[in-house]
Amino acid sequence: MLLIKPYGRENAVTYAKRWAFSQNPLFGDFREIGGNCTNFVSQCLYAGGCQMNFTPTFGWYYLTLDERTPSWSGVTYFYNFLMGNTGVGPFGSLCNADELQIGDVIQLGKNEGGYYHSLLVTGFSGEEILVSAQTVDAVDRELSSYTYDFARFIRIEGIRIFVKDEADCFTPLLEGKSLFGTGG
């Protein structure tokens, strides 16, 4: 069964501040093939929940540069995953700028070209939203210093995890078929 656990906002922010100016060797760098911003924000969300979604094509995971979903590193695919995810992994909803919390996501857009950049909210200074990002590396940069025509604000609502139901174990155990609920 799927359960929702809280999103570790502090972990996401700690990760962002640790890796914003360097590349974590566990992940590829997309700077030369369109930008690294969404890859970086995906890493931050993963740090805040430690749950990927291994659904082929439409999930959200990274194993290698060649074994990943488009949502891990593509701005629009990432948004679509967060808004539509009903399986394991992070999920979100649109919110207003004044409802943002640390660990939430902002995506910037331009009239010619649509959404192009993903940022992680890492703090606040008065009314100013502070963000961290890669491609143009930044920690606690003021959102107002970016040039964009529109933005969308994504509240990360939680992380869904799969937990075996007791029936997954009990029935095969009771019938003498399996100690681990695998039926074999």
Distance (Å, rounded) from C-alpha 136 to C-alpha 21? 9
First to last CA, the chain: 21
Distance (Å, rounded) from C-alpha 41 to C-alpha 22? 14
Phi and psi angles of residue 17, each rounded to the nearest 5 degrees, phi first: -70, -30
Q: What is the value of pTM for the model shown? A: 0.90
- Would you write out the chain's pLDDT as a tens digit for each of its 184 residues? 899 999 999 999 999 999 999 999 999 887 777 778 999 999 999 999 999 999 998 999 999 989 999 999 999 999 999 999 999 999 999 999 999 999 999 999 999 999 999 999 999 999 999 999 999 999 999 999 999 999 999 999 999 999 877 666 777 777 877 666 554 4
Q: What is the pLDDT of residue 183?
A: 46
Distance (Å, rounded) from C-alpha 62 to C-alpha 24? 13
Pairing of strands 150-162, 89-95: antiparallel
Q: Of 68, 17, 34, 55, whose CA–CA distance to 162 is shortest? A: 55
Q: What is the pLDDT of residue 163?
A: 86
How many CA atoms within 13 Å lie on the side-chain side of 42? 32
Q: What is the pLDDT of residue 178?
A: 67
Residue 102 burial by CB count (10 A; 0-12/13-18/19+): exposed, middle or buried?
A: middle
